[in-house]
Amino acid sequence: MSPVHVLIPAAGSGRRMGADRNKVLLDLLGQPIIAWTLKAAAQAETVVWIGVICQAGDRPTLETIAASLHLSKPVIFIDGGTTRQESVCNGLQALPPEATRVLIHDGARCLATPDLFDRCATALDTCPGLVAAVPVKDTIKVVDANQRVKTTPDRESLWAAQTPQGFDVALLKQCHQQGIEQGWSVTDDAALFEKCSLPVQVVPGEETNLKVTTPMDLAIAEFILKQRLG
């Protein structure tokens, strides 16, 4: 399996969580959320380097957490931006010169397994861009501003995007540059690839790979981890 570098955006807040700090610093079974994310990335065979993108105020705490884990892979810290898009762009510029393939994984997706990282890294051998995703189970309704249903898309063609998302580094840097020049605002890096007419492959994700955003998510994550740990 070819080596891959990982960028972990962790520059968010705890607003939707109702917390007074960055949600990745909240406790999950005795460890901060970000600790579980870092351990999963570091345990993946393909991962050789991890960059955590964070705000300056959180950096000392995050550095202490990473040091306490005694990870087998180097972890560096990168200044975040005002948006996720800007933060990832900063992260790309901080990659070491030898980095040709990158996985971008949300810090709050603390339940992703090392196997998912490795499967995404392996898929990058045959495609320039990918996104972990799972098929949508619910029927989706498209509604207007008055909350009236406009249409019901075919569920068979709908997938819920997760992370990791993986890319050829040079191509993703070009996409971010074009996004800056065109004033694009996107919620994930795959969308930048799509806007640049570059192919994005879906890699089957994990049903348990939820993003901890609300107190309910945190409770579900605790339940899943307890099941894994027996």
Residue 13: which pLDDT band, with cuts at 50, 70 and 90?
low
Q: How far is CA 115 from the centre of its chain?
A: 15
Residue 227, in any domain of the structure = no
Residue 86: which pLDDT band, with cuts at 50, 70 and 90?
very high
| 186: containing domain | 4-222
Which pLDDT does position 79 carry in this prediction? 96
Number of domains in the chain: 1
Residue 119, in any domain of the structure = yes
Helix (H, G, I), strand (E, B) or coil at 107: coil
pLDDT greater than 90 at residue 12? no
Which pLDDT does position 204 carry in this prediction? 98
Residue 174, in any domain of the structure = yes
In tens, the pLDDT along 34-49 reads 999 999 999 999 999 9
Residue 15, in any domain of the structure = yes
Which pLDDT does position 18 carry in this prediction? 60
Residue 201, in any domain of the structure = yes
CATH number for 74: 3.90.550.10
What pTM, to 2 d.p., does this model score? Answer: 0.95
Residue 229, in any domain of the structure = no
Comparing CA positions, the residue from 88, 87, 76, 75 lying closest to residue 42 is 75
Q: Show the CA angle centred on residue 80, arms to residues 47 and 67, nearest 5°.
A: 50
Comparing CA positions, the residue from 47, 54, 178 lying closest to residue 101 is 47
CA distance to 11, 80, 94, 124, 133, per residue, from 88 (Å): 10, 8, 10, 19, 20
